[in-house]
């Protein structure tokens, strides 16, 4: 790992852009299949938020990484292409997974699954026969899971809706409190529709669904092509009896183009969002948004711009709050027009975080750290999972001391190699193909057990080099032959 570069935000800045957040009144979903309907607008006031860049200063050393023993690993499905991994770990160490398969199967088209295993001495979760799996939905575009404080699963599913022409993608909320390894234990409700197909099978791992401190479900999304009356960024929520459609509401946060949002909540139930905001010309800025009261009113939302998002497929980020509700974030910046970027950042703020110069950060590595996810242990120490592009596998980074400073004690390295994937799952080489190779670590979803040990659910893909004949010419191409979700659980050093 390269030396860490420390970032600080000085008091002097040139303005990069101005984000104007316009909020309108609440929308109510009257029935499980109804579309959002607007209440009278309560305000049309605008607020200006200035977004300066983070600036670089100094560096810090990195100590050699200790070993991180792997306890178990497995592919959840060896017969279908699978995508969209997300994981939660309960207080008993039980692992709750969601994912979906592509194509047609006995379970339907694009089926979505919930899987559960509680590891004990007699029940090894590295053995697929120890897992219970439940079919939740079909026609799936994405799926996310959160656990209540009692360890009960709550799931947000985005599905195709062939009955709706202008907003053909539907959000469904599913919940279970008992007997969750049986379909009979689950209840689901249609919440809302959107015209935007994101997130489809993209390289990013979104966390736009979350539970607040009272275990109430909330999510945010962008509606892009639904016409001017619906175009915008929405906050959707339910406070009670959330498997009943009439209890869901939503309001418009802003008409600005916010993408790939990560949503978290303070202990008081106040939303915090990390997202990319469009600054025009195809450029995006990483922005942090916060609201502490009356969040349907425009002047209650504040924002701080942190870093240019950069381009490329593997730019991504994750947001968490520590026990003092202080934001901690990990961010892989894509390439920049000036040749910079392509770096993994750890970012933090301790107070007044809607002001950009309250944020600091450190560069953890360059040209590596794709698609990162972040978790904080019981002591608020950061643990990061990422795609290790240099080794084509799954990587982890962690810090135990002085993590929010230039003296952070960061360690990390490769947790699972591409070779381990090839040994575990052999995919036949197609007749016109000669070379097959696995790539691991895509879209990792990271959760920790009560002892702080990492459980990581991610995607792996096999590609083959194939030859195609076009007339008298032979063309060599690289083709994806397999995509599979994989779980790995290890001990934290």
Considering the domain boundaries, does residue 437 fall inside one? no
The answer for residues whose C-beta is within 8 angstroms of residue 239's C-beta and 6 or more apart is 216, 247
CA separation for the pair 45, 30 (Å, rounded)? 27
- The arrangement of strands across the sheet holding 186-194 comes to 140-147, 153-160, 169-176, 186-194
Considering the domain boundaries, does residue 400 fall inside one? no
CA separation for the pair 30, 42 (Å, rounded)? 20
CA separation for the pair 218, 161 (Å, rounded)? 21
Considering the domain boundaries, does residue 484 fall inside one? no
Per-residue model confidence (pLDDT) at position 105: 76
CA separation for the pair 354, 375 (Å, rounded)? 22
Per-residue model confidence (pLDDT) at position 357: 94
CA separation for the pair 474, 159 (Å, rounded)? 40
CA separation for the pair 384, 365 (Å, rounded)? 12
State yes or no: cis peptide before 199, omega within 30 of 0: yes
CA separation for the pair 300, 305 (Å, rounded)? 17
The answer for residues whose C-beta is within 8 angstroms of residue 396's C-beta and 6 or more apart is 68, 383, 384, 385, 386, 412, 413, 415, 454, 456, 490
The series of mean pLDDT values per 10 residues for the chain, 493 residues long, is: 49 32 30 33 31 37 62 94 96 96 84 93 81 95 96 96 81 97 97 74 71 97 72 94 97 89 97 93 93 90 95 90 98 92 96 96 95 97 96 96 93 95 94 92 96 97 90 86 96 92
Considering the domain boundaries, does residue 473 fall inside one? no
Residues spanned by the domain of 184:
4-386
Per-residue model confidence (pLDDT) at position 224: 74
Encoding tokens for residue 408?
A: 């952070």
- What total number of domains does the chain contain? 1
Considering the domain boundaries, does residue 139 fall inside one? yes
Considering the domain boundaries, does residue 394 fall inside one? no
Contact (CB, 8 A) for 483 and 80: no
Which residues in 309-432 belong to E strands, given as ranges?
Answer: 316-321, 327-335, 341-349, 359-366, 370-376, 382-388, 393-399, 410-416
CA separation for the pair 291, 294 (Å, rounded)? 8
In this prediction the pTM is 0.88
Find the CATH number of the domain harbouring 279: 2.120.10
- Reduced to 3 states (helix: H, G, I; strand: E, B; else coil), residue 491 is coil
CA separation for the pair 66, 341 (Å, rounded)? 28
Contact (CB, 8 A) for 62 and 3: yes
Per-residue model confidence (pLDDT) at position 30: 28
CA separation for the pair 266, 272 (Å, rounded)? 8
Encoding tokens for residue 282?
A: 């195809």
- Read off the pLDDT of residues 443-464 as tens digits, 9 standing for 90 and up: 999 999 999 999 999 999 999 9
Per-residue model confidence (pLDDT) at position 153: 98
Q: Are strands 55-60 and 4-8 parallel, antiparallel or unpaired?
A: antiparallel
Per-residue model confidence (pLDDT) at position 12: 26
Burial 168-201 (b: 16+ CB within 10 A, else e): ebbbbbbbbeeebeeeebbebbbbbbbbbebbee
CA distances from 219 to 76, 139, 191, 297, 400 (A): 27, 20, 11, 18, 31
Contact (CB, 8 A) for 83 and 144: no
CB atoms inside a 10 Å sphere around CB 424: 16
Considering the domain boundaries, does residue 443 fall inside one? no
Q: Quick one: the chain helix, strand, coil %, rounded to 5?
A: 5, 55, 40
Contact (CB, 8 A) for 231 and 285: no
Per-residue model confidence (pLDDT) at position 268: 97
Could you please report the per-residue DSSP string of 189-211? EEEEEES---SSS-S---B-EEE
Per-residue model confidence (pLDDT) at position 162: 82
Which residues in 227-270 belong to E strands, given as ranges?
Answer: 232-238, 248-254, 258-265
Considering the domain boundaries, does residue 96 fall inside one? yes
């Amino acid at each position: 790992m390269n030396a860490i570069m420390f970032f600080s935000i000085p008091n002097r800045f040139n303005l990069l852009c101005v984000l104007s957040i316009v909020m309108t009144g609440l929308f109510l979903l009257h029935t499980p299949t109804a579309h959002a309907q607007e209440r009278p607008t309560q305000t049309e006031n605008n607020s200006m938020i200035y977004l300066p860049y983070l600036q670089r200063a100094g560096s810090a050393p990195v100590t050699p990484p200790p070993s991180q023993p792997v306890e178990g690993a497995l592919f959840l499905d060896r017969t279908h292409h699978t995508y969209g991994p997300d994981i939660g770990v309960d207080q008993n160490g039980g692992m709750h997974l969601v994912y979906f398969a592509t194509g047609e199967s006995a379970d339907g088209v694009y089926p979505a699954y919930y899987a559960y295993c509680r590891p004990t001495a007699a029940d090894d979760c590295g053995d697929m026969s120890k897992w219970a799996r439940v079919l939740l939905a079909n026609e799936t575009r994405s799926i996310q899971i959160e656990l209540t404080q009692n360890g009960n699963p709550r799931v947000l599913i985005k599905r195709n809706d062939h009955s709706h022409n202008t907003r053909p993608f539907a959000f469904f909320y599913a919940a279970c409190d008992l007997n969750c390894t049986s379909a009979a234990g689950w209840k689901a409700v249609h919440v809302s529709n959107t015209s935007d197909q994101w997130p489809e099978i993209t390289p990013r791992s979104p966390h736009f669904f979350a539970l607040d401190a009272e275990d109430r479900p909330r999510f945010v999304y962008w509606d892009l092509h639904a016409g001017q009356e619906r175009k915008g960024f929405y906050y959707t929520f339910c406070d009670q009896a959330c498997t009943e459609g009439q209890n869901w509401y939503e309001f418009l946060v802003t008409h600005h183009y916010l993408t790939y949002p990560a949503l978290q909540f303070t202990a008081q139930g106040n939303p915090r969002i990390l997202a990319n905001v469009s600054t025009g010309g195809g450029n995006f800025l990483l922005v942090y948004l916060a609201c502490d009261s009356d969040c349907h009113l425009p002047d209650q939302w504040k924002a701080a711009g942190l870093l240019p998002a950069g381009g490329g497929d593997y730019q991504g980020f994750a947001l968490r709050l520590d026990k003092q509700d202080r934001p901690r974030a990990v961010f892989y910046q894509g390439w920049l027009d000036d040749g910079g970027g392509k770096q993994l950042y750890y970012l933090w703020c301790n107070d007044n975080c809607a002001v950009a110069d309250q944020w600091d950060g450190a560069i953890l590595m360059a040209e590596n750290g794709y698609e990162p996810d972040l978790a904080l242990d019981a002591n608020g120490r950061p643990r990061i999972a990422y795609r290790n592009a240099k080794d084509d596998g799954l990587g982890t980074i962690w810090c135990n001391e002085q993590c929010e400073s230039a003296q952070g004690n960061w360690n990390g390295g490769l947790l699972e190699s591409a070779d381990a994937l090839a040994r575990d799952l052999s995919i036949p080489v197609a007749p016109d193909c000669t070379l097959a190779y696995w790539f691991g670590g895509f879209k990792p979803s990271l959760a920790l057990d009560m002892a702080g040990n990492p459980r990581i659910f991610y995607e792996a893909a096999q590609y083959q080099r194939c030859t195609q004949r076009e007339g008298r010419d032979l063309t060599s191409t690289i083709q994806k032959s397999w995509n599979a979700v994989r779980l790995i659980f290890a001990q934290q050093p």
